[in-house]
Amino acid sequence: MSRSSLHAKIVTPERALPLRAFGLDLRVLLTTEATGGTISVLTAEHEPGEGPPDHVHYSQDELFFILEGLYELTVDGRTTTAGPGTIVFIPRNVVHRFKNAGDTTARMLDWSLPGGQDHYFKAISELAAGDGFTDEKALEISRKFDTYFPALGRTRKAGSA
């Protein structure tokens, strides 16, 4: 999509695309397509204790903005606890994780640059909606969409250093 074919977007929460991936409630506010691949934006809700394990993206930067609740964030080996109004920039190649450290539902905005996280969560959501969900299939989708988990020994794309 060329820049000249992009259109301004206003997406209210009611018009966001709802997804359920990894048991989480997500809402896609801006799709990769809507921004010509530049960015994708979603909101995610996490119940107490929920959050992904250490992971890394090699071709995307990520940005979180905490809307509600309390998160424990570990970025590049540094752990901090942060609440509403906190913004976190995670450049590509940096291992990171987060979890809801509070006792109520927490919410964050999540940007991926370039876009693509919306495609990843949509693929996981579709896999979960079917009857063939396996950890191996989820890992295949993760690799396809540039998400790698160091604890599983799968931190590099095939052929990369």
CA atoms within 13 A on the CB side of 104: 7
CA–CA distance, 75 with 91 (Å, rounded to integer): 10
The Cα–Cα gap between 6 and 8 comes to 7
Please check the confidence at residue 80 and state whether its pLDDT lies above 70.
yes
pLDDT of the residue at 2: 58
Q: Is residue 159 pLDDT above 70, yes or no?
A: no
Which comes out higher in pLDDT, residue 64 or 160? 64
Mean pLDDT of 133-147: 88
Residue 135 clears pLDDT 80, i.e. is over it:
yes
Tell me what the mean pLDDT of segment 50-57 comes to. Answer: 94
Confidence band for 155, pLDDT divided at 50, 70 and 90 = very low
Does the pLDDT of residue 1 top 80, yes or no?
A: no
**Structure-token pair, residue 146:** 């540039």
Among the listed ranges 63-67, 92-96, 155-159, which one has the minimum average pLDDT value?
155-159
Catalogue the E-assigned strands of the chain: 17-21, 24-30, 40-46, 61-68, 71-75, 78-82, 87-90, 96-100, 106-113
Confidence of residue 109 (pLDDT cuts 50, 70, 90): very high
> Cα separations (Å) of 18 from 29, 35, 102, 130, 159?
9, 18, 24, 17, 35
